Structure 1
Amino acid sequence: MQTRKMGDFEVSAMGLGCMNLSHAYGTPPSAEQGERVLLAALDAGVTLFDTAALYGFGANEALVGKVLSRHRSRFTLASKGGMAGVQFDDGVKRVIDGRPETIRKNCEDSLQRLQTDVIDLYYLHRWDKKVPIEDSVGAMADLVHAGKVRSIGLSEVSAATLRKAHAVHPIAAVQTEYSLWTRNPEIAVLQACHELGAAFVAFSPVARGFLCDALPDAAALQPKDIRTAMPRFTPDNYAANLKLLPSYKALALEAGCTPAQLALAWLLHKAPHIVPIPGTTSVAHLQEDLGAMAVRLDAGLLAKLETLINQRTVTGNRYSAQSASEVDTEEFPV
């Protein structure tokens, strides 16, 4: 298994994003299927597992804890706080709350669900813009000093916010969406991570399933599938984006790999501090994804890929207006 540096940890060059075992893309798989995927990843040499308090409103952390806690010494555990499910009179709702007392409570709850004494990498899931980033990161630094967290990360932040946070406590990693069809990290945050010695963790590296053989049918997405609210999956935009795929699949054939492997190999070739975390509900797809580490791409093929799929050729924003207002990332104009 190839490895990459993440703060004080050496992790597998690709981790496992655990979210869709409990959350986000319609009806999640059974707990038994989730267990099979988690254990298959561990047996294959994956040493970075990424979850969050938000995913399944705690269900994903509980699954990871139940399945992997007995193997705790074999992997680096990442989770997130500052955005979680809160019980209201009309049900549980997602709330962004970066107040120090909330971050402390989120962490304690996560430790219990994960069945561990310490989280290796604890992210601020979203910067709560009502709270200075220095205050939220200060609370996370207190968790490090208390021995509950080993290192700190940030999710979906700009380079400027990263630098402010890093001045309070070293930031081990920044996690943001990054793939051929979402290139915003190239504006500034990738370089900022490199300069500060932080890893860059790329979520949704196969473009929400778009760059896979098992292409999602946008018209058949379940009501609770988060892609139904994403502009790139609306009928007109999706139809335009589908026109990119024949040429993309031809490049995968040229590279001798599957479309998903091509997307992941591109990320691995971009920079040594990038760690993709694809997610899957299938052991077969997991094994396919891990095969991307053996794919070699020459400069000519990389150039063809980047010319074909980029911020100018993809139609639609990555997030709805509401979701876009909740992140702090630099964005290319569309």
Structure 2
Amino acid sequence: MKKDFTFNIKSVSLDENYHPSTNTRITTNFANLARGEYRKANLRNALNMINNRFNALAHWDNTKGERYAVELEIVSVEIGIEDGGESFPSIEILKTNIVDHKTNKRIEGIVGNNFSSYVRDYDFSVLLQEHNKGKSQFSIPDDFGVLHGKLFQSFVNSDTYKQNFKKPPVICLSVSDNKTYNRTENQHPVLGVEYEPNESSLTEQYFKKMGLQVRYFMPQNSAAPLALFFFGDLLNDYSNLELISTISTMETFQKIYRPEIYNANATAGKSYKPNLKNLDHSLTQIVYDREERGKLANEQGKFAQEHFIKPYQTVLEQFSTRYLS
């Protein structure tokens, strides 16, 4: 058996002409938007929202609010399993690139947005559900998220990652609707006001096993804080434009996916508890099938179980035991 898994990266532009391939993870936000009768309008409107938000945040030397445009790449990661060439579709993420129309320069952004993973789908949609089936009290399986965390860290530490990306990933997610977030006095010029949760969430614990820290910030004119998962020093390792590319992209998707929180008509106060049943929110002009996305996550979790977890159980156990985070 090889010392470690190998990784192969493929990328495709996410623009209004994007069509999901048969190999893409169909639960991802961008794949959901790119299907159906309104696919082209969905993508065009989402990209316009991202650009408008980027220019609003990067307002210096940008009087007309048209200086920048964000280009997105869908990065698909396959994991090589055996020397015989077997592989499995592992992760899909977005990478941002920034076009500066004033200087005619293209600036590399950050990879990590819209993070999605087959093994994560398996953990939450299959393993966690089976573990709690028929039980009166919710609990978490032993070593929950350990394999996924080590696979992710193996990828980020791989030569493949380092050859394709200059900096570690930043993964931006929604806040949890069962936690309370309290505003602090700390404020960043781009990320905005920092919030702190009253307790750790299952998502936090899961991403910690991926080697990631988390901080919560609410940018100017946002409705709610965003969760930013990262390695190293979030505030000093990335430029303002890099951070804005991540914020503008993920905030747009969250307005579409969770309008009750991120397109709410009232902004988060000093003490904030997200509410997915909040009726006081606005809808975007973008068609998004949230119910379908939930069903597909379960299907893809079962796909991972059948084609990756079960057939390679011994290999995965040996890897998980050997790999040091």
Same fold (TM over 0.5): no
Q: Which has the higher strand share?
A: 2
Determine which structure has more spread, i.e. the larger CA radius of gyration.
2
Query: Normalising TM by the smaller chain, what interval?
Result: 0.3 to 0.5
Q: Which has the higher helix share?
A: 1
TM-score (norm 2): 0.32
